[in-house]
Amino acid sequence: MLKNNAFILFITIALICIPLMFNGNAEYGGADGEAEELITELNESYKPWFSSIWEPPSGEIESLLFVLQGAAGAGFIGYFIGYMRGRNRGGNAEIPK
């Protein structure tokens, strides 16, 4: 079990570091900015349908909120899978009164 975890950790670190070593000066931007640039390039008179209700004060805050959203979703999914797995393993045992 420990060997498997160490192997998975090594592969994860390699997947993060190798692209940075070969293409370290690249700009890793999000898809939203790329799409906005392309739309503006294709149609200069394009106006968005709506704007954000609240704009985060900085990119760091925006990243923090994105990470918190992902963590909350992953926590919910993990809880649900664990709950269903435990329920299925428990069978039809009755709860003592």
What pLDDT digit, counting tens, does each position of 73-87 carry? 999 999 999 999 888
The pLDDT tens digits of the residues spanning 21-67 come to 887 777 767 777 788 888 888 988 888 888 888 888 888 888 899 99
**Residue 89 to residue 86: CA distance in whole angstroms:** 5
Q: Specify if 65 maps to a domain.
A: yes
**Residue 8 to residue 29: CA distance in whole angstroms:** 27
* Residue ranges making up the domain that contains 75: 59-90
Please tell me the chain's helix, strand, coil percentages from 3-state DSSP, rounded to the nearest 5.
65, 0, 35
> Which residue type occupies 23?
N
Phi, psi of 52 (to 5 degrees): -65, 145
How many domains does one find in the chain? 1
Q: Specify if 64 maps to a domain.
A: yes
Q: Specify if 31 maps to a domain.
A: no
